[in-house]
Structure 1
Amino acid sequence: MTALQGETTWVRWLDRLAPPAFIFIWATGYLAAKAAAPHADALTFLVWRYAGVVALMVCLAALARAPWPSRRDCLHLSVAGIGIQALYLGGVWVSIRHGLSAGMAALIVNLQPVLVAALAPLVGEQVSRRQWGGVALGLAGVLLVVSHKLGFGAGQAGPLLLCVLALAGITGGTLYQKRFVPQFDLRTGQVVQFAASLAVTLPVAWLTEPMHIDWALPTVLAMLWSVFVLTAGGISLMFYMLRHGQVTRVSSTMYIVPSLTALMAWMLFDETLTAFTIAGMGVTLLGVYLVVGRR
């Protein structure tokens, strides 16, 4: 086997493994948030997480002598990173911290594939009728999965708006990155993105939170998982898939996240797994297949 054939085989396997690996890693983010929530203010935890990612990626980039993006690409990466990281993570974590149910948050954030499909022509992609059907089915499946957790009580207008901001952030950031800077080194690119997110999040945390963080074992484990697995693994896989696939197909895989999160929460935390949840998993998988499956 030649070197070129070996590289082609490796890329082919990575293309196959990236989506399921990304879905699993992304789903664990909710579990990490649940573990850290009693011990740390939301934005304060994210400040430490962003700083940890910057330090990790700087070391990896230095060891590999990775190329740094141009000034122009740094600007585009910063804009996309603020949407994908600061607005998305900050909005979700703070909204749940202030009382929005996890089910409502998951439902709002998982409108992303619908928005991405509607806005896909802006980045030169067309969405077929079959894919639109899959997007609709996926959303219906998510609704079934989280139906028993939905709740909107008094005083939740603020957290709801924060979650909508998170949806806008990750949708806009994903499309912006796909349009303006689809190709970049994952190590140096993430240094730029997370440094920009840190610069935005730190002053907001300082102004709005006591910046309390208790370095108990759950906090330490959640932080290590967030830095080394969720970011170094999950975000890198998402960027890889965006680089090698259509943005609509990539975003639609996120429909599976609430189902997998519900399953893992049932296994780890003894949370209820209802018939609606199981039915929703099936509907969601069918919807995602219609979007990403080959004709």
Structure 2
Amino acid sequence: MPAVFYAYAVPALFVWLWSTGFIGAKYGLPYAEPFTLLLIRMLSTLVLLGGLVWLMKARWPGWRGVGHTAITGLLVHGCYLGGVFYAIDGGMPSGIVSLIVGLQPLVTALAAVLVLGEAVAVRQWTGLILGLCGVSLVLAEKLGSPGELGGFPLWTLMVALLALAGISLGTVYQKKHGGQIDLLTGTFIQYTAASALFALGAFTLETREVVWALPLQLSLAWLVLFLSVGAILLLMWLIRRGAASQVASLFYLVPPVTAVEAFWLFDERLGWLAMLGGVLSIIGVALVVTRPAGRH
């Protein structure tokens, strides 16, 4: 396929798929506790991925590769998903959760400089900061309500920050240690590690009661097929092909896209600040991911 497809269509598809994760969580969490829901999601995904690994005869890494990949899985899936789902389930508005984890590009860029030695140009730092400003504007209406800010317990903020740390460090760790590992087997190992974490949480902290209502079934089907399989394979592919800070900048587009979806599905209105923030986020991402003319 033309290079322009990989440069624009694949990142756009990833952003859209990733943004639906908050929608899927909102639909599914009323019917199952967070770790229980995530455990069911991971186990269902492992069945599908196991079939793909067998059909494609994917190559398994050595034990060292297994260890590195498992650590990535605990960070990118275990910490991130566990933190996001528990924060939403604990009462933190999904928009605020989205804003907190939307800081990931800045955290990843800093980690990439310290751990990987990646060079981040001034224009890229400008884009990262502009993207942060855009995300803040998208959610300014929710953050501007004192009652809403005081309506969730402090521990939900802590687990949301854990999610931010997990996805940021996991992106850098995957870039450093997972470049030569097959995408299918690597993702299978990551989900296996995350499943162990979710099983530990479900059996020690939760009742594991599940109400198999239609919204939960539809939510799980979407989260498994399009998020856990489709979006994650795209993410690992993008990390492998691009600098960690450039890939991370795509996450700035998730809150604006999620806001549009929430408007369409739940009639949550967008103000002019939110629309301005979406434009700023897109400009910020463009500054980070595009190279000046003449540079390769």
Q: The TM-score by the shorter chain falls in which range?
A: over 0.9
* Distance in 1 separating the partners of 2:224 and 2:274: 30
Q: Does 1:54 align with 2:46?
A: yes
CA deviation profile, 1:201-244 (whole Å, cap 9, x unmatched): 11111111111221111111111111110111100001100010
Residue 85 of structure 1: aligned partner: 77
Once the two structures are TM-superposed, the CA of residue 154 in structure 1 deviates from its matched residue by 5.8
Identity %: 38
Runs (5+) with no aligned partner, structure 2: none
Residue 273 of structure 1: aligned partner: 270
Determine helix, strand or coil for the equivalent of 1:16.
helix
Residue 185 of structure 1: aligned partner: 182
Partner AA of 1:247 in structure 2: A
* Distance 1:169-1:263 versus aligned 2 partners, 3 A rule: same
Q: Does 1:240 align with 2:233?
A: no
Indicate if the aligned counterparts of 1:54 and 1:190 stay in contact, CA closer than 8 A.
Answer: no
* Distance in 1 separating the partners of 2:6 and 2:285: 19
CA deviation profile, 1:7-28 (whole Å, cap 9, x unmatched): xx36663343210000000011
* Distance in 2 separating the partners of 1:187 and 1:287: 31
Residue 4 of structure 1: aligned partner: none
Residue 122 of structure 2: aligned partner: 129
Partner AA of 1:139 in structure 2: L
* Distance 1:10-1:213 versus aligned 2 partners, 3 A rule: farther
* Distance in 1 separating the partners of 2:51 and 2:3: 25
Indicate if the aligned counterparts of 2:92 and 2:151 stay in contact, CA closer than 8 A.
Answer: no
Q: Does 1:138 align with 2:138?
A: no
CA deviation profile, 1:80-129 (whole Å, cap 9, x unmatched): 11000010000010011001122221111111111111121211311011
Residue 31 of structure 1: aligned partner: 23
Q: Does 1:106 align with 2:106?
A: no
Partner AA of 1:234 in structure 2: A
Residue 167 of structure 1: aligned partner: 164
Determine helix, strand or coil for the equivalent of 1:184.
coil
Residue 288 of structure 1: aligned partner: 285
Alignment of 1:256-271 (within 5 A): 256-271=253-268
Partner AA of 1:138 in structure 2: G
* Distance in 2 separating the partners of 1:240 and 1:95: 28
* Distance in 2 separating the partners of 1:155 and 1:266: 23
Q: How does the TM-score come out when normalised to structure 2?
A: 0.94
Q: How does the TM-score come out when normalised to structure 1?
A: 0.94
Indicate if the aligned counterparts of 1:88 and 1:170 stay in contact, CA closer than 8 A.
Answer: yes
Partner AA of 2:8 in structure 1: R
* Distance in 1 separating the partners of 2:213 and 2:180: 39
Once the two structures are TM-superposed, the CA of residue 178 in structure 1 deviates from its matched residue by 0.7
Structure 1: 4+ residue segments shifted above 4 A: none
CA deviation profile, 1:119-151 (whole Å, cap 9, x unmatched): 212113110110001000100000000112224
* Distance in 2 separating the partners of 1:161 and 1:152: 14
* Distance in 2 separating the partners of 1:155 and 1:45: 21
Matched pairs, number: 287
Could you tell which deviates more after superposition, 19-28 or 212-221? 212-221
